Structure 1
Amino acid sequence: MTRYAVYAVPGLLGENDDPIAADLRDSVEAWYARPEFHELTVDARRYGFHATLKAPFRLAGGRTEAELRAAADAFAAAHHTVLLSALRPANLGRFRALLLHGDEAEVRMLADEAVRDFDVFRAEPDDADIRRRRPEMLPPRQRALFEQWGYPYVFEEFRFHLTLTDPIPPARESEIDGALAAHFARNGQAVDSDVLLRSIALFIEREPGAPFDVLSVHPLATPSADTDMQETA
Structure 2
Amino acid sequence: MSRYAVYAVPGAGDGDAPEAVRLARAVDAWYTRDDVQDLTVDARRYGFHATLKAPFRLAAGRTEAELRQAADDFAAARNPVMIPRIRAAAIGGFRALLPYGEDPGLDSLAADVVRRFEEFRAPLGEADIRRRRPERLTQRQRELLERWGYPYVLDEFRFHLTLTDNVPAERAPEIDAALGEHFAEVAGADVPVTSIVISVEPEPGAAFRILSVHPFVPSPSLETA
**TM-score, normalising length: structure 1:** 0.93
Q: Counterpart of 2:97?
A: 98
Contact 1:87 1:100 in 2 (8 A): yes
Q: 1:222 aligns with which of 198, 218, 221?
A: 218
| Matched residues, number | 225
Q: Counterpart of 2:12?
A: 12
Query: SS of 1:107's equivalent?
Result: helix
**TM-score, normalising length: structure 2:** 0.96
Q: Counterpart of 1:120?
A: 119
Q: 1:211 aligns with which of 194, 198, 207?
A: 207
Q: Distance in 2 between matches of 1:225 and 1:58?
A: 38
TM superposition shift of 1:121: 0.3
Q: Distance in 1 between matches of 2:200 and 2:186?
A: 27
Question: Where in structure 1 do 4 or more consecutive aligned residues deviate above 4 Å?
Answer: 226-229
Q: Distance in 1 between matches of 2:219 and 2:89?
A: 31
Q: Distance in 2 between matches of 1:178 and 1:159?
A: 23
Seq. identity, %: 57
Deviations 1:141-179 (A, max 9, x none): 000000000000001100000000000000000000001
Contact 2:39 2:166 in 1 (8 A): yes
TM superposition shift of 1:48: 0.3
Q: In angstroms, what is the RMSD of aligned CA positions?
A: 1.3
Q: Distance in 1 between matches of 2:83 and 2:222?
A: 23
Q: Counterpart of 2:71?
A: 72
Unaligned runs of 5+ residues in structure 2 are: none
Query: SS of 1:61's equivalent?
Result: coil
1:157-176 superposed matches below 5 A: 157-176=156-175
Query: SS of 1:53's equivalent?
Result: strand
Amino acid in structure 2 at the alignment position of 1:194: D
1:122-201 superposed matches below 5 A: 122-185=121-184, 189-201=185-197
Amino acid in structure 1 at the alignment position of 2:13: L
Q: Distance in 2 between matches of 1:164 and 1:136?
A: 26
Amino acid in structure 2 at the alignment position of 1:152: P
TM superposition shift of 1:127: 1.8
Q: Distance in 1 between matches of 2:20 and 2:214?
A: 16
Q: Counterpart of 1:202?
A: 198
Q: Distance in 2 between matches of 1:221 and 1:159?
A: 25
Amino acid in structure 2 at the alignment position of 1:11: G
- The reply to whether residue 2 of structure 1 matches residue 2 of structure 2 is yes
TM superposition shift of 1:198: 0.9
Q: Distance in 1 between matches of 2:142 and 2:102?
A: 27
Contact 1:95 1:165 in 2 (8 A): yes
